[in-house]
Amino acid sequence: MLPNRPFTILVAEDDEEDRLLLDEAFMQNGLFDCGRFVEDGDQVIDYLMNCLGPEAANPLPSLIIMDINMPLRNGLETLLAIRSDHQLKNIPVLIMTSSRQEVEKAYRMGANSYLVKPIQFTELIQMIGDVTTYWRDTVNLPYNEY
């Protein structure tokens, strides 16, 4: 993580229970107040548009975790929109879904990772810990100030 840049995770998940579990998994990993939650692909794009420019209302997320099956604009459509925007295309996008059916398609469309939602909450806590350690502490990512 770059100095002075908060680590934020934008989570796109339409299921309220899954959002609550993810939020709790963040807290269990000491990631207090880093999650920003939206319910569909249109809200992802709206959130991201409010991250750009000198008067940005939202912090640009360090990472996006997104379900595939969401109303309005699904995760893969949203992924395409992110990858086609020169200001957003470098944000890591992780697909987290309950199905293994779209793995190849998601990677072809630009996903950085494809995660299958664990059944056990303890496994979700471990997965979130592993994901955030990797994307926050291990890799070096390009960073542009918008």
More confident residue, 56 or 145: 56
Cβ-contact 12, 66 below 8 angstroms = yes
| Fold adopted by 9-136 | Rossmann fold (3.40.50)
pLDDT at 144: 52
Whole-angstrom distance, CA of residue 23 vs CA of residue 128: 10
pLDDT tens per residue across span 7-55: 889 999 999 999 999 999 999 998 877 788 999 999 999 999 988 877 8
pLDDT at 1: 42
115-143: average pLDDT: 89
Write the CB contacts of 40 (distance below 8 Å, at least 6 apart in sequence). 12, 14, 70, 71, 72, 73
Say if residue 146's pLDDT is above 80.
Answer: no
pLDDT at 106: 92
pLDDT at 3: 46
**Tokens coding 85:** 């925007």
pLDDT tens per residue across span 55-104: 877 778 989 999 998 888 899 999 999 999 998 999 999 999 887 888 99
- Kindly list the domain boundaries of the chain, sorted by start residue: 9-136
Say if residue 107's pLDDT is above 80.
Answer: yes
**Tokens coding 81:** 């929109």
Q: What are phi and psi of 130, to 5 degrees?
A: -65, -45
